[in-house]
Structure 1
Amino acid sequence: MSPRAARHTGVLAEWSDERGFGFVETGGRRTFVHISAFDPAGGRPQSGDFVQFEVGSAPDGRPCAVRASRVHALPGHATRRPPRRGAIDWAAFLPVLAVAAYLWLAVARLGAALWFPLAYLVLSVLAYLLYAADKRAAVAGTRRTPERTLLLASLLGGWPGAVVAQQVLRHKNRKTSFQLAFWLAVAANLIALLVLTGGVRLLAA
């Protein structure tokens, strides 16, 4: 009977929920840990969690944490954790409310076709589902939805649903390069919307 591997206890010093991995720090040493090392019944890990784990080997031969579990506190440490990262940013919903108000104005006052708000609604639902599928794939370690697909859905008019998904699912909302490309797509979509619905004339009046 082989001896049981030693278990170590440390703090999840760095964690990317979007990418599904992070690093456990113990005694000044950092050990890589993937989401698959955690028991799903224990909930999703967060930066600042106390973690018990065994040391195994990754496919490339480097040490990594295996059979990891979250614990309430380390001996001699307070149970309080740092503030939870990734809380919903309610200000991000302001552009969604603004475009909803403009679409109502465009149909009611500018004579825009009713299919404009309907298209935004359908594409927003589609964008949300794409984000949800990508989030599940990130957790499971399976094939991801390409970022260009997410950005295309936003460019075509699904960005309100993308904003909701980013905040509710806490997905793609902290990656700077993606956020830059995303808001550029939103800006391009809004310019096209103003041109197609006569909003440019309204602004010029």
Structure 2
Amino acid sequence: MQLSTPVILYLILVNLIAFALMGVDKSRARRHKWRIPEKTLFLSALLGGSIGSIVGMQMFRHKTKHWYFVVGMPCILIAEGLLGYFILNR
């Protein structure tokens, strides 16, 4: 089985959004402004944006001192990878 174009486009979009959310939240944190809830950051990863979240964490150096992000985001990526593997190979 092969990934369809809409699925690929969805994954690209959700990863770009997750990446942007990390950047926006970091910017707001620096300026002591209203922040994006951590639930929203995790939700964007759970919806398929784990790679974007991880890259955003590293690039913006955001949430890297919180163990639940440092451990949680890679765990979500692994779970999504396994889920994708099983869906594509059933």
TM-score normalised per structure 1: 0.40
Deviation at 1:127, TM superposition (A): 0.4
Match of 1:139 among 30, 34, 41: 30
Partner of 1:123: 14
Partner of 1:168: 59
Structure 1 letter corresponding to 2:23: A
Partner of 1:179: 70
Asked if 1:150 is matched to 2:32, the reply is no
Alignment length (residue pairs): 90
- Please tell me whether the aligned partners of residues 127 and 159 of structure 1 are also in contact (alpha carbons under 8 angstroms): yes
Structure 2: which 5+ runs fail to align? none
Deviations 1:65-111 (A, max 9, x none): xxxxxxxxxxxxxxxxxxxxxxxxxxxxxxxxxxxxxxxxxxxxx33
Deviation at 1:157, TM superposition (A): 1.0
Identity among equivalent positions (%) equals 28
Counterpart CA distance in 2 for 1:164 and 1:182 is 10
Let me know the Cα RMSD of the aligned residues: 1.6
Deviations 1:10-52 (A, max 9, x none): xxxxxxxxxxxxxxxxxxxxxxxxxxxxxxxxxxxxxxxxxxx
**Structure of larger gyration radius:** 1
Counterpart CA distance in 1 for 2:57 and 2:2 is 32
Partner of 1:31: none
- Please tell me whether the aligned partners of residues 53 and 73 of structure 2 are also in contact (alpha carbons under 8 angstroms): no
Counterpart CA distance in 2 for 1:194 and 1:148 is 26
Deviation at 1:183, TM superposition (A): 2.1
* More strand per residue: 1
Partner of 1:83: none
Runs of 4+ in 1 over 3 A off after TM superposition: none
Deviation at 1:140, TM superposition (A): 1.0
* More helix per residue: 2
Matches within 5 A, 1:73-152: 110-152=1-43
Deviations 1:103-162 (A, max 9, x none): xxxxxxx33322222111100110011111110111011121111111111111111211
